[in-house]
């Protein structure tokens, strides 16, 4: 029997995978174009509602130019793509908008949903990208890379000590000869633009496979996470057995699969800071070659961000693995064996009662069972017992009367109060009336400075201003006219005040003089008569 049947089965199995199912669909070009326009290395996840709106906009744009598009709106298409395992929806942080503003992502505890591409979609995009990109299938750089890789692996695979020494000596001799030639002034031929372009294409092929590799590791951990959660919920396996299987799968994931080995290799790379610095420097050196002037800005940016791409892939895998570890820890901590045994005993008793009932029940017999049990009619139970310490009186308060401050007299308290308006009015009217100086150059400040110390507190100035305002004497306070400028300089005078503690303080206050009518108004205001 020929091998065609086996090959056909293997090909059919390959076509059943989501990657080839995506490429085999009628709307594959549209789906891949949407993925290409919506996602990138810098934008690995998009908020769900925003992607729905973007797909609606793409559909509208294509329909305006008469292009054939699938039926449905953005939401329904995204849900369909998610069911086909091309999109993955989860809650978490988004890279959306990183290209527009370069701002840091907000660290928030949001419950919004985000879409990201699965490894199958990334593989399909990589395949289409490689087919659409011009490259040389056979070139010197590609063959040199293959020969170097084969030589390196052959050296590692050969256990013969003499053969390994011979290969190392040969490499040392070649390198030493090249060093001596360069050190001796030999010509250094820079790589041509064509050679650099071919080497760049080979590197892009290798780097382009990294996102899919990391995504497959991430999906493997997520699949393991779902399986372990289902095993915990099923309660049909001991916790120890589930943990043993988790540890075994973790070891197999990181050592027995190509994706796991790629992850471990990148993880080792990140531990070597000197190697990372050398890698960044080598990338910058390649981009400084004249051939890089022909690259698009997005190509230069993607190639220079190779180290960032590796870091992000490792962070995603570690995040998935940390989530799985957290699930295990929470289940172990919250797992109550006593409650499990009580539930198991209750179910066993119910099973026994069912066996007894089935001995007499007919084939269509029914048992009415309440979904929720009824309330128990039980008397009130004492929740707290008598505690003699609850009725012990509190300890006596300590006598601190010796620390109390001295009691102030009424006069001392009045000294700390507001202005004495009535006494100030009386003193002001008496001083102006006794001197017969109303309407002269005698000001309120002159009268204030001549009063007794108990009426010259700083707060009494506010009382004087209030009295002057009541008789409208503040509106025409004295002012000195400037020469020729039309400006007025406010005339002030000094008020020498006496604080309650005996200290003195001088204030500059606008100069106010009272006319005869204002003095009469102040006297009428003081006696309670109508000032009109």
Q: What is the pLDDT of residues 281-296, one digit of tens each?
A: 888 888 888 888 888 8
- Which has the higher per-residue pLDDT, 150 or 448? 448
Work out the pLDDT band at 498, boundaries 50, 70, 90: very high
What mean pLDDT do residues 58-78 have?
87
Would you give the distance in Å from CA 328 to the centre of its chain? Answer: 26
Residue 93 reports pLDDT greater than 60: no
DSSP sequence for 221-287:
HHHHHHHHHHHHHHT-S-HHHHHHHHHHHHHHHHHTSHHHHHHHHHHHHHH-HHHHHHHHHHHHHHH
Give the contacts of 521 (CB within 8 A, at least 6 positions apart). Answer: 471, 531
Query: How far, CA to CA in Å, does 136 sit from each of 55, 140, 300, 402, 458?
Result: 35, 10, 20, 101, 96
Q: Give me the chain's average pLDDT, please.
A: 76
- Which has the higher per-residue pLDDT, 1 or 182? 182
Please name each of the domains of the chain with its CATH number.
4-97+109-120 (1.10.10), 209-354 (1.20.58), 418-481+488-527 (no CATH)
Instruction: Give the separation between CA 105 and CA 47, rounded to whole angstroms.
Output: 13
Residue with tokens 């692996």: 153
Residue 34 reports pLDDT greater than 50: yes
Give the contacts of 53 (CB within 8 A, at least 6 positions apart). Answer: 74
**If phi over 0 gives left and psi between -120 and 50 gives alpha, with beta otherwise, what is residue 85?**
left
Residue 487 reports pLDDT greater than 50: no
3-state secondary structure of 47: strand
Q: Would you state the structure tokens that stand for residue 504, as one six-digit string?
A: 């003195």
| Angle 82-84-87 from CA coordinates, rounded to 5° | 35
**pLDDT at 72 (0 to 100):** 84
Instruction: Give the separation between CA 14 and CA 41, rounded to whole angstroms.
Output: 27
Residue 512 reports pLDDT greater than 70: yes
- Which has the higher per-residue pLDDT, 314 or 407? 407
Measure the N-to-C terminal CA separation of the chain; round to a whole number of Å. 131
**If phi over 0 gives left and psi between -120 and 50 gives alpha, with beta otherwise, what is residue 226?**
alpha
- Which has the higher per-residue pLDDT, 137 or 415? 415
Q: Report strand pairing: 87-91 vs 488-490.
A: unpaired
Instruction: Give the highest mean pLDDT range of 5-9, 210-214, 217-221, 320-324.
Output: 5-9
Instruction: Give the separation between CA 477 and CA 464, rounded to whole angstroms.
Output: 14
Instruction: Give the separation between CA 515 and CA 432, rounded to whole angstroms.
Output: 10
- Contact assessment for residue 223 and residue 119, using Cβ atoms and an 8 Å cutoff: no
Q: Report strand pairing: 488-490 vs 113-117.
A: unpaired
* Long-range CB contacts for residues 274-280, cutoff 8 Å, separation at least 24: 276/307, 279/306, 279/307, 280/307
pLDDT > 70 in the chain, percent: 74
Work out the pLDDT band at 252, boundaries 50, 70, 90: low
Residue with tokens 């503040």: 474
What mean pLDDT do residues 21-48 have?
83
Residue with tokens 């008598």: 386
Work out the pLDDT band at 265, boundaries 50, 70, 90: low
What mean pLDDT do residues 483-488 have?
45
Instruction: Give the separation between CA 379 and CA 276, rounded to whole angstroms.
Output: 74
Of 420, 421, 443, which Cα lies nearest the Cα of 518? Answer: 443
Instruction: State the helix-helix crossing angle for 258-271 and 273-287, rounded to 10 degrees.
Output: 100
Residue 439 reports pLDDT greater than 50: no
Residue 259 reports pLDDT greater than 90: no
3-state secondary structure of 384: coil
**pLDDT at 92 (0 to 100):** 61
Residue 98 reports pLDDT greater than 80: no
Work out the pLDDT band at 66, boundaries 50, 70, 90: confident
Q: What is the 3-state secondary structure (H, E, C) of 176-196?
A: HHHHHHHHCCCCCCCCCHHHH
**If phi over 0 gives left and psi between -120 and 50 gives alpha, with beta otherwise, what is residue 387?**
beta
Work out the pLDDT band at 94, boundaries 50, 70, 90: very low
| DSSP tag of 89 | E
DSSP sequence for 303-372:
HHTHHHHHHHHHHHHHHHHHHHHHHHHHHHHH--HHHHHHHHHHHHHHHHHHHHHHTT--TT------SS
- Which has the higher per-residue pLDDT, 254 or 17? 17
Q: CA 62, 131, 28, 116 torsion: positive or negative? A: negative
Residue 216 reports pLDDT greater than 60: yes
- The helix (run of H) or strand (run of E) holding residue 201 is helix 193-208
Residues 353-373: tens digit of each pLDDT? 888 888 888 777 887 777 776
Instruction: Give the highest mean pLDDT range of 89-93, 124-128, 442-446.
Output: 442-446
């Amino acid at each position: 029997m020929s091998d065609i049947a086996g090959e056909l089965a293997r090909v059919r199995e390959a076509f059943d995978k989501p990657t080839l199912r995506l490429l085999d669909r009628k709307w594959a070009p549209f789906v891949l174009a949407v993925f290409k326009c919506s996602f990138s290395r810098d934008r690995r996840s998009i908020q769900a509602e925003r992607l729905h709106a973007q797909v609606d906009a793409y559909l509208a744009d294509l329909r305006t130019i008469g292009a054939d598009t699938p039926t449905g709106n953005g939401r329904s298409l995204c849900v369909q793509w998610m069911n086909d395992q091309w999109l993955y929806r989860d809650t978490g942080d988004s890279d959306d908008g990183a290209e527009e503003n370069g701002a840091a992502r907000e660290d928030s505890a949001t419950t919004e949903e985000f879409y990201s591409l699965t490894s199958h979609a990334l593989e399909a995009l990589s395949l289409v990208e490689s087919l659409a990109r011009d490259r040389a299938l056979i070139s010197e750089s590609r063959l040199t890379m293959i020969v170097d890789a084969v030589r390196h692996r052959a050296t590692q695979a050969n256990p013969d000590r003499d053969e390994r020494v011979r290969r190392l000596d040969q490499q040392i001799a070649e390198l030493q000869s090249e060093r001596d030639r360069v050190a001796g002034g030999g010509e250094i031929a820079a790589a041509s633009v064509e050679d650099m372009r071919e080497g760049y294409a080979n590197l892009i092929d290798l780097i382009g496979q990294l996102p899919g590799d990391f995504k497959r590791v991430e999906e493997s951990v997520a699949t393991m996470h779902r399986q372990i959660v289902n095993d915990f919920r099923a309660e049909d396996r001991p916790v120890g057995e589930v943990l043993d299987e988790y540890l075994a799968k973790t070891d197999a994931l990181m050592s027995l699969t190509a994706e796991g080995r790629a992850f471990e290799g990148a993880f080792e790379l990140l531990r070597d800071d000197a190697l990372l610095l050398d890698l960044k420097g080598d990338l910058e050196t390649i981009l400084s070659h004249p051939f890089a002037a022909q690259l698009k800005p997005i190509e230069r940016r993607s190639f220079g961000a190779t180290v960032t791409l590796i870091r992000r892939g490792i962070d995603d895998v570690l995040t998935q693995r940390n989530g799985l570890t957290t699930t295990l820890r929470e289940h172990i901590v919250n797992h109550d064996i006593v409650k499990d045994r009580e539930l198991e005993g209750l179910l066993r008793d119910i099973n026994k009662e069912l066996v007894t009932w089935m001995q007499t029940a007919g084939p269509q017999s029914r048992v009415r069972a309440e979904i929720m049990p009824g309330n128990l009619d039980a008397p009130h139970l004492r929740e707290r017992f008598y505690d003699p310490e609850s009725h012990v009186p509190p300890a006596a308060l300590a006598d601190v009367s010796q620390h109390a401050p001295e009691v102030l007299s009424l006069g001392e308290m009045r000294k700390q109060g507001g202005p004495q308006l009535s006494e100030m009015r009386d003193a002001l009217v008496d001083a102006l009336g006794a001197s017969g100086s109303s309407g002269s150059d005698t000001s309120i400040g002159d009268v204030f400075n001549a009063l007794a110390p108990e009426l010259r507190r700083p707060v009494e100035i506010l009382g004087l201003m209030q009295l002057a305002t009541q008789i409208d004497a503040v509106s025409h306070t004295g002012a000195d006219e400037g020469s020729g400028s039309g400006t007025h300089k406010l005339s002030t005078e000094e008020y020498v005040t006496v604080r309650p503690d005996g200290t003195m303080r001088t204030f500059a206050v606008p100069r106010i003089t009272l006319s005869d009518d204002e003095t009469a108004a102040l006297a009428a205001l003081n006696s309670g008569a109508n000032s009109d």
